Amino acid sequence: MKRVMFVCKKNSARSQMAEGFAKTLGKGKIEVTSSGLEASLVRPEAIATMKEIGIDITDQQSKPLSDFQAEDFDVVISLCGCGVNLPTEWVKREVFADWQLDDPAEQPEIFPRVRDEIKERVTQLIESLTEEFTPVG
């Protein structure tokens, strides 16, 4: 089972929504967590936007990347363009991607659009990570 880390600047919105989608859509297929270059609080707008589509992230907490070891993860996804600020060992995992999504914290009205973009990308990520393990025939 692949282990996925979603990372963002403050682990308050985009990475939290990605974690929520991955835990829901990838249940039993991947292990997932999220973190930030620094920890903060999960934004109420992120919680509300996810709740609108039936995913509850109220129990998720913001965590600093420094609480984790890169070698414990196969996949690292940056959601904010912060990949350039990640320590080298994090960007050299089996899979690394920098999705560079708009920051809804700066424009709360875009939370639903960003949420939907994250869902689409997380869905594609889960499919790409699990298709190699699907038995043929």
Which residues are annotated as catalytic?
Answer: 8, 80
Distance separating alpha carbons of residues 47 and 66, to the nearest angstrom: 24
Residue appearing with tokens 């699990």: 130
Cα-flanking dihedrals φ and ψ of residue 37, to 5°? -60, -30
Both tokens of 128, joined, read 């790409």
State which amino acid sits at residue 82. C
H or E stretch covering 30: strand 30-36
